[in-house]
Structure 1
């Protein structure tokens, strides 16, 4: 399985862009999305950009990946990782509601 990672363009040179994420800076093939500009957000799979993202969508994906990493490391906190879902409709499923109440 391959996960897409949101990355922000630092500079572009034809079909290659220098992009950054939380883990560092990488050269990204942008031939599938076309020319990009500094500041744009891209969804990158194994070194190739597959989609342009709004900043809000890029940050949502980054937060979801952060929650996944925390869960894999045993540091999952539903109050932090599902903060945007706790008090909205539809509500969290019962098994996650129980975790939120337990942590609160």
Structure 2
């Protein structure tokens, strides 16, 4: 499984940056795909490269979800911790993507 990690740009020099994750770990990150990233911005990082800009709230939600997954994998998460890690999902009814919602409304069953 491939997982992107939210990081905050600490400093930038051309297409290279030093970025920190939610735990404070700092890494050198390639900004070739998001050259507009500046110190203070949040970026989604995958395999050492920033893939896109994120707002602070989205970065916080993704970091919380990743912490929740790590707790589940370690066997240390309880129901309250899981609800907290996925707070944006736990309190709402799931929604189908538009193409599946249209098919469902039309009475078709996808195989």
User: TM-score when scaled to structure 2?
Assistant: 0.74
Aligned to 1:20: 20
Q: Give the alignment of 1:25-104 within 5 angstroms.
A: 25-83=26-84, 84=87, 85-86=89-90, 88-90=91-93
| Number of residue pairs matched by the alignment | 90
Shift of 1:89: 3.3
Measure, in 2, the Cα distance between the counterparts of 1:41 and 1:15: 15
CA distance in structure 2 between the aligned counterparts of 1:63 and 1:81, rounded to whole angstroms: 10
1:23 is displaced (CA, Å) by 5.6
Structure 1 residue 2: Cα displacement: 1.7
Distance 2:82 2:57 in 1: 16
Q: Please list the CA deviations of residues 56-93 of structure 1 after superposition, one character each: whole Å capped at 9, or x if unmatched.
A: 0001000000000000000112212213255x3328xx
The yes-or-no answer on 1:7 pairing with 2:7 is yes
Alignment partner of 1:37: what SS? coil
TM-score (norm 1): 0.79
Gaps of 5+ in 1: 92-104
Determine which structure has more spread, i.e. the larger CA radius of gyration.
2
